Structure 1
């Protein structure tokens, strides 16, 4: 398979949206169209706060990773939070998720980040096999209180 890993572009919206909705379906959530458009706009702004790499095969987008930079009280540099990672089901087990994560590692290093981190569901066993090979599970548990 010949794939291209690159940054998201404005003309990718319709294909990114298909992936975005498939990702939301995987987690059994959905967001309204206006929020999807806002998210996409934030990802392509190149403001150094949010970013997205995609994997393309023969003109079709087949995977993405979204990441966010933020400051921390624990370091002088920024952290990079890998917020979303998704590869189409029929394209998995080919190393694409690892390539996407490693692209974030390189990008975060270029931005002088001191850490890349992410969350996943405890039952996401297939993804956790990958994550256990490329990062350390430090044992933290997330608590959440939705405000609105």
Structure 2
């Protein structure tokens, strides 16, 4: 079986990170400007309690997955929450445990801060990812709304 290594993003990962995040955005039929890429990359390494962070997944040494996450305050707990964002595994690595390993890395990071509520969203049509999510988490039944 292939070995999965999940580790925090490093400055040297920029090219792999951008390729994986671009593939994630393409999956959702969207894109971001170069300014957003640059700002996000900078924020991933900016000191601060509520700045986003990320992990990279490597399969046999090759980058195949990424996740962004951020901690935020909540009115429902002292410890706050952890929002798992932009979880992606390259098509070549799907079904090999990459997504579950990335989720577990975020869960462990949150737990180290005393945070027990790690949550995320996915599109209702993302059936492949939802099979994993239904296995590792509970569906809350909440529906997202965005102000336009």
Kept in 2: contact 1:78–1:113 (CA 8 A): yes
SS at match of 1:55: strand
* 1:41 paired residue number: 42
For 2:44, what is the secondary structure of its paired residue?
helix
Q: How many residues are treated as equivalent by the alignment? A: 146
Measure the CA separation in 1 of the matches of 2:61 and 2:36: 25
Q: Encode CA deviations 1:45-100: one digit per residue, 9 max, x unaligned.
A: 35342211111235431100110100011111110000110000111000110010
Change (3 A) 1:115 1:39: same
Q: Deviating runs (4+, > 6 A) in structure 1? A: none
CA displacement at 1:112 relative to structure 2:
1.4
Counterpart of 1:9? 10
Distance in 2 (CA, whole Å) between partners of 1:99 and 1:38 is 26
Q: Which residue does the alignment assign to 1:20?
A: 21
TM-score (norm 1): 0.93
- Structure-2 change in CA distance of 1:7 and 1:44 (3 Å): same
Q: Which runs of 5+ in 2 are unaligned?
A: none
Select between 85-94 and 35-44 the one with higher mean Cα deviation: 35-44
State the Cα RMSD in Å. 1.2
TM-score by length of 2: 0.93
Matched position secondary structure for 1:80: strand
Task: Give ranges in structure 1 of 5+ residues lacking alignment.
Answer: none
